[in-house]
Amino acid sequence: SQQGEEDPQALSIQEGENATMNCSYKTSINNLQWYRQNSGRGLVHLILIRSNEREKHSGRLRVTLDTSKKSSSLLITASRAADTASYFCATLTRGDDKIIFGKGTRLHILP
Amino acid sequence: EPEVTQTPSHQVTQMGQEVILRCVPISNHLYFYWYRQILGQKVEFLVSFYNNEISEKSEIFDDQFSVERPDGSNFTLKIRSTKLEDSAMYFCASSQGLAGVYEQYFGPGTRLTVT
């Protein structure tokens, strides 16, 4: 698998439900970040979690990081139509200065 | 809140032409980056730039690409002779310091279409 692979590739849920997206990676990381991208638009930084952190919250977002399993999850609670977008995890490998993005999860919130 | 800006938002060019994509990073940032995203694919790192020189570049960033910070505020990406496969969204990013410590802030992107 590639660095920063999200799962699932696509997810459709009803408005109000919680959405969970997962990310797996291969190398030792310094930090992991989640970004949102609306169709054809720019990247919006959502949250950064460092390798020594296990969980982080920001509003309706909750990110977990398990460095032993080399995985992270992004939970969006009480989803809204405006949450419809692609979500990418991005990792920073130790010793590097570049972010490696995954292929993303396309989230669709149904009304 | 300060933000990274990019111009133009959309550039259409013919194959073989030179293009320059412009970015204005956040003013107190020191590290600058270009990434690209081919339609439907993931965002890929191109190059990082610090202290007026390239600090790292990917395999994609070949001799056709160059970067410059000509006047202390703009950060440009030049593609000398564009190819069809250069069609993509190009994102500029900047940060106060190394990515391990500081967040990278992304611009809205320039959509490059090569015909």
Structural domains in chain B, sorted by start? 5-114 (2.60.40.10)
A97 — contact with chain B (CB < 8 Å)?
Answer: yes
B72: left (phi over 0), alpha (psi -120 to 50) or beta: left
- Residue A3: pLDDT over 70: no
Q: What is the largest CA-CA distance in chain B?
A: 40
In chain B, positions 11-70, which contact chain A (CB-CB < 8 Å)?
A: 31, 33, 35, 41-45, 48, 55-56, 58
Q: Is A99 on the interface with B (CB under 8 A)?
A: yes
Place A1 in a pLDDT band, splitting at 50, 70 and 90: very low
Length of chain B: 115
Domain carrying residue A29: 5-110
CATH number at residue A48: 2.60.40.10
Residues A63-84: pLDDT tens digits? 999 999 999 999 999 999 999 9
Whether pLDDT at A96 is above 90: no
What's the mean pLDDT in B1-27? 95
Mean pLDDT to the nearest integer, A75-101 = 90
A42–B45 CB contact, under 8 Å: no
Q: Is A67 exposed, middle or buried (0-12, 13-18, 19+ CB in 10 A)?
A: middle
Nearest to A30 by CA among B99, B55, B49: B99
| Span A6-22, average pLDDT | 93
The owner of tokens 């696509």 is A10
A81 contacts: CB under 8 Å, gap ≥ 6 = A15, A109, A111
DSSP state letter for B104: P
When divided into structural domains, chain A yields a total of 1
Give yes or no for a contact between B51 and B67, defined as CB atoms under 8 angstroms apart. no
Report, as an integer, the average pLDDT of B74-83: 96
- Residue B8 backbone phi and psi in degrees, to 5: -75, 175
B99 → closest Cβ in A88, A99, A102:
A99
Q: What is the pLDDT of residues A21-60, one digit of tens each?
A: 999 998 888 889 999 998 777 888 899 999 999 999 999 9
Flag whether pLDDT at B61 surpasses 60.
yes
In single-letter form, the type of residue at position A106 comes to R
**What is the distance in angstroms between the Cα of B17 and the nearest Cα belonging to chain A?**
24
Residue A74 is predicted with a pLDDT of: 97
Structure confidence at residue A6 (pLDDT) = 79
Q: Where are the beta strands (DSSP E) in chain A?
A: 5-7, 10-14, 19-24, 29-37, 43-50, 55-58, 61-66, 71-76, 85-93, 99-101, 105-110
Q: Is the pLDDT of residue B114 over 70?
A: yes
Q: Give the up-direction half-sphere exposure of residue A26: CA atoms within 13 A in the CB hemisphere.
A: 7
pLDDT of residue A2: 46
Q: Distance between CA B97 and CA B105 in Å, rounded?
A: 11
Q: A100 and B48 in contact by Cβ < 8 A? A: no
Query: Who wins on pLDDT, B100 or B20?
Result: B20
To probe the interface with B, which of A97, A100, A103 has the most B CB atoms within 10 Å?
Answer: A97
Q: Does A47 reach chain B within 8 Å, measured CB to CB? A: no
